[in-house]
Amino acid sequence: MISGDGTELTTKPKRSFYAARDLYKYRHQYPQNFKDLRYQNDLCNLRFYKNKIPFKPDGVYIEEVLNKWKGDYEKLEHNHTYIQWLFPLREQGLNFYAKELTTYEIEEFKKTKEAIRRFLLAYKMMLEFFGIKLIDKTGNVARAANWQERFQHLNESQHNYLRITRILKSLGELGYESFKSPLVKFILHEALVEDTIPNIKQSALEYFVYTIRDRRERRKLLRFAQQHYTPSEHFIWGPPRKQKSEGSKTTKKTASPVSINNSCISKHKKSKEPKHTSAGGSSAGKTAEERKVELAKNGEDNDQNEQEMNCDTVRQNNGEKNSDTDTGPLSKSEEIHNTSDRKEDASHSKRDDENLNNDCGNHPGTIEKDLCDTENLSNNTSADLPDNLDKDMLSGGTATKNKDELKS
């Protein structure tokens, strides 16, 4: 799309529910796959790679494909029946003559050196068709000699992106899961950094990355893609962005009710005050009288139990005063002692108030949590994908993170 001033406008991409569901089933070994029954399997994929049967409907053996079709890019491009046989999966493809893999056949395939050797040759043949070459036994890849011509073709023939997805899946099924990450990283680098195949970046982020079963490897690739994706605000894959978590923090601050906190403190003060009236010495009598004045101002004089305890404390303190000292003025040492007692009592009351604030903080926190949960729920309902597919697949999966931040 071109704007009025001649600049190119890019629309924000959307996630595909079909892609997410398909790759979720693949990564989790196809749950509820009732077709995977050992006695129904005739090992046709293994027999094809052992060069015992040709692939249907063309009737071509694997050795002929590897020897005569290699380098014939026109045939590899326009024939659409061989790819299901070269890279079998535990799901039905477009060629209904090709049979699905089963777990038993996968186990037997991995034990057969002849089949594994031909499988790697088929992988190298397809990489060369895309303009890529395999450079070592660990799966690292690089540009082939004809990369410019083949990259241009790959950028224009988008049906080959489906073939790459199938190849990546089949690598994981037949024991070469470690080969997938280097290939996907190479494609992301060419698409996002070198800009040689820009049309492939949507399929690479929507399909190729999510064929990798290791979550840590997926996140490494997504972080790499996020660093180089332009425009950056259109990146919708992988872990949630930090901006959303900061927005939830501001919501938390605005939603905190101060009145609830104050009311909780006043209620807890009422139950804690009799504890302070039991302090010994002449300072305890004075603090009790001061609290009585404060209670009278706050309208809490009706608490009979508190008044009786205060009266008993006053009587006890007066008796201690009469027995210890005369009615004359206090000495300087006693005044210093009383002053220190007052400071100690004030520090005790301050500590109790802080503890009460911590206790009461749970109530507004609960309200804040509910508000944030409501907000996150409304955000998640507008997303294209369900959250239960995979946590690192959705960019909108921030509800768990926000809850953890609120709890901390």
DSSP letter, residue 385: S
Residue 15 lies in a domain: no
101-112 residues labelled b (16+ CB within 10 A) or e (exposed): bbbebbeebeee
pLDDT of the residue at 371: 38
Q: Which residue is listed with tokens 């015992």? A: 52
DSSP symbol at 206: I
What percentage of the chain's residues is helix, strand, coil (to nearest 5)? 65, 0, 30
In a domain, 10, yes or no: no
pLDDT, one tens digit per residue, over 154-183 is 999 999 999 999 999 999 999 999 999 999
Report helix, strand or coil for 113: helix
pLDDT band of 11, cuts 50, 70, 90 = confident
Q: Considering only CA atoms, which of 314, 312, 306 is closest in space to residue 285?
A: 314
Cβ atoms of 170 and 216 closer than 8 Å: no
Distance in angstroms (rounded) separating the CA atoms of residues 238 and 222: 6
The predicted structure's pLDDT at residue 335: 45
What would the pLDDT profile of 377-392 be if each residue is shown by its tens digit? 334 433 344 344 444 4
In a domain, residue 149? The reply is yes
* Assigned domain for 170 exists: yes
Higher pLDDT, 369 or 220: 220
Bond before 13 cis per omega within 30 degrees: no
Is 237:225 a contact under the CB 8 Å cutoff?
yes
Q: Are 122 and 69 in contact (CB under 8 A)?
A: no
Please spell the DSSP secondary structure of 238-280, one letter per residue: SSPPHHHHHHHHHHHHHT--HHHHHHHHHHHHHHHHHHHTT--
In 3D, which of 248, 298, 232 has the Cα closest to residue 270? 298
Across the range 205-214, mean pLDDT stands at 97
User: What average pLDDT does the segment 291-300 reach?
Assistant: 55
On the question of pLDDT at 141 being above 70, the answer is yes
For 155, phi and psi rounded to 5 degrees? -70, -25
- List, in sequence order, the alpha helices (H) in 42-112: 44-49, 62-68, 73-78, 83-86, 103-111
Cα–Cα distance measured from residue 136 to residue 78, given in angstroms and rounded to the nearest whole number:
30
| Residue at token pair 């990355």 | 209
- Whether 48 and 128 have beta carbons less than 8 Å apart is answered as no
* 103 CA to centre of own chain: 30
Crossing angle of helices 147-156 and 113-130, rounded to 10°: 80
- Summarised one tens digit per residue, pLDDT across range 66-92 is 999 999 999 999 999 999 999 999 998
Q: 321: closest CA among 279, 280, 273, 275? A: 280
Both structure tokens of 69: 């079709």
Domain count, the chain: 1
Is 202 a member of any domain? yes
How far apart CA 89 and CA 264 sit, in angstroms, is 63
- Per-residue pLDDT of 87-118, as tens digits, reads 999 998 888 899 999 899 999 999 999 999 99
Phi-psi bin for 14: left (phi > 0), alpha (psi -120 to 50), beta? beta
- Which phi and psi angles does 308 have, rounded to 5°? -65, -40
Does 198 or 308 have the greater pLDDT score? 198
Do the domain assignments include residue 207? Answer: yes
pLDDT band at 276 (very low <50, low <70, confident <90, very high): very low
This prediction's pTM: 0.60
Tell whether 377 is covered by a domain.
no
Residue type, 91: E
Q: Which of 59-68, 256-265, 278-287 has the largest mean confidence?
A: 59-68
Give yes or no for a contact between 265 and 356, defined as CB atoms under 8 angstroms apart.
yes
8 φ/ψ angles, rounded to the nearest 5 degrees:
-85, 130
**Residue 14, pLDDT score:** 86
Rounded mean pLDDT, 229-245 = 75
pLDDT value of residue 8: 47
Q: What is the pLDDT of residue 10?
A: 67
- The pLDDT > 90 percentage for the chain reads 48
DSSP structural state of residue 22: H
Q: Does some domain include residue 162?
A: yes
Which tokens hold the place of 154? 């790959």
Q: Which domain holds residue 189?
A: 26-228
DSSP 361-375: THHHHHHHHHHHHHH
Using pLDDT thresholds of 50, 70 and 90, give the confidence band for residue 42. Answer: confident
Distances (CA, A) of 64 to 56, 86, 322: 14, 12, 117
Residue with tokens 């410019």: 148
Distance CA(112)–CA(104), nearest Å, equals 13
Q: How far is CA 97 from CA 54, 236, 267, in A?
A: 11, 38, 78
Distance between CA atoms of residues 359 and 368, nearest Å:
16
